[in-house]
Structure 1
Amino acid sequence: MIEKLEQHYGYLFEDDLIKEIAEVAIYKEFKANSTIIDIDSYLVSIPLIISGAIKVLREDKDGDDLVLYYIEKGDTCAMTLSCCMGATKSKIKAIAETDVTVLMIPKGKMSEWLSKYKSWQEYILQSYHSRLNEFIEAVDSIAFLNMNERLHKYLKDKAMVIGDDTLNVTHLQIANDLHTSRVVISRLLKALEKQSKIELHRNQIKILEL
Structure 2
Amino acid sequence: MRNIIEANYGHLFEKELITEIIEVGTLKDVPKGSEMMQIGQYIKSMPLLLDGAVKIMREDEDGFELLLYYIEKGETCSMTLNCCLNQKRSEIKAVAEKDTELVMIPIQKMEEWMAKYRSWRNFVLDSYNERMNELLDVIDVIAFKKMDERLLDYLKNKLKFTEDKIIKSTHQDIAYDLHTSRVVISRLLKTLEKKGNIILHRNSVEVVNID
The TM-score, its normalising length taken from structure 1, stands at 0.97
CA RMSD of aligned residues (A): 1.1
**What's the counterpart of residue 181 of structure 2?**
181
Using the TM superposition, give the Cα deviation of residue 8 of structure 1 relative to its aligned residue in structure 2, in angstroms: 1.1
The CA deviation at 1:163 is: 4.8
Cα offsets for 1:80-114 (capped at 9, x unmatched): 00001111100000000101111000011111111
Q: CA deviation at 1:169?
A: 1.1
For 2:23, the aligned partner's letter is E
CA contact (8 A) 1:52 1:162 kept: no
In 2, Cα distance between the equivalents of 1:127 and 1:52? 18
Question: Following the alignment from structure 1 to structure 2, what is the Cα–Cα distance between the partners of residues 164 and 82?
Answer: 36
Contact 2:26 2:104 in 1 (8 A): yes
Q: CA deviation at 1:203?
A: 1.9
- Partner in structure 2 of residue 32 of structure 1: 32
Q: Helix, strand or coil: the match of 1:133?
A: helix
- 1:97 aligns to 2:97 (yes or no): yes
In 2, Cα distance between equivalents of 1:90 and 1:202: 34
Task: Structure 2: give runs of 5+ residues left out of the alignment.
Answer: none
Task: Supply the distance in 1 between the matched residues of 2:149 and 2:115 (Cα, whole angstroms).
Answer: 43
Identify the residue that residue 3 of structure 1 maps to in structure 2: 3
Counterpart code for 1:35: E
Judged with a 3 Å threshold, the aligned counterparts in structure 2 of structure 1 residues 162 and 116 are, in CA distance, closer, same or farther, namely farther
After the TM superposition, which residues 184-203 of structure 1 pair with which residues of structure 2 at under 5 Å, given as runs? 184-203=184-203
Task: Indicate yes or no: 2:65 matched with 1:65.
Answer: yes
Q: Provide the aligned length of Structure 1 versus Structure 2.
A: 210
Structure 1 CA distance for aligned equivalents of residues 42 and 86 of structure 2: 10
Query: Aligned equivalents of 1:11 and 1:164: distance in 2?
Result: 30
1:120-163 Cα offsets, whole Å, 9 max, x none, are 11111111111111111111111111111111111111112445
Shift of 1:194: 2.1
> Does the 8 Å CA contact 1:72/1:161 hold for their aligned counterparts?
no
Q: Is the 8 A contact 2:49 2:73 kept in 1?
A: yes
Structure 1: which 5+ runs fail to align?
none
Aligned pair in 2 of structure 1 residues 132, 112: CA closer, same or farther (>3 Å)? same
Which position in structure 2 is the counterpart of 1:155? Answer: 155
C-alpha distance in 1 between matches for 2:81 and 2:10:
21
2:151 partner letter: L
Q: CA contact under 8 A between 2:31 and 2:96: conserved in structure 1?
A: yes
Change (3 A) 1:162 1:119: farther
Between 194-203 and 112-121, the greater mean CA deviation after superposition: 194-203
Q: How far, CA to CA, are the matches of 2:35 and 2:71 in structure 1?
A: 14
**What is the rounded CA distance, in whole Å, between the counterparts of 2:21 and 2:152 in structure 1?**
39
Residue in 1 that maps onto 2:17: 17
> 1:197: how far off?
2.3
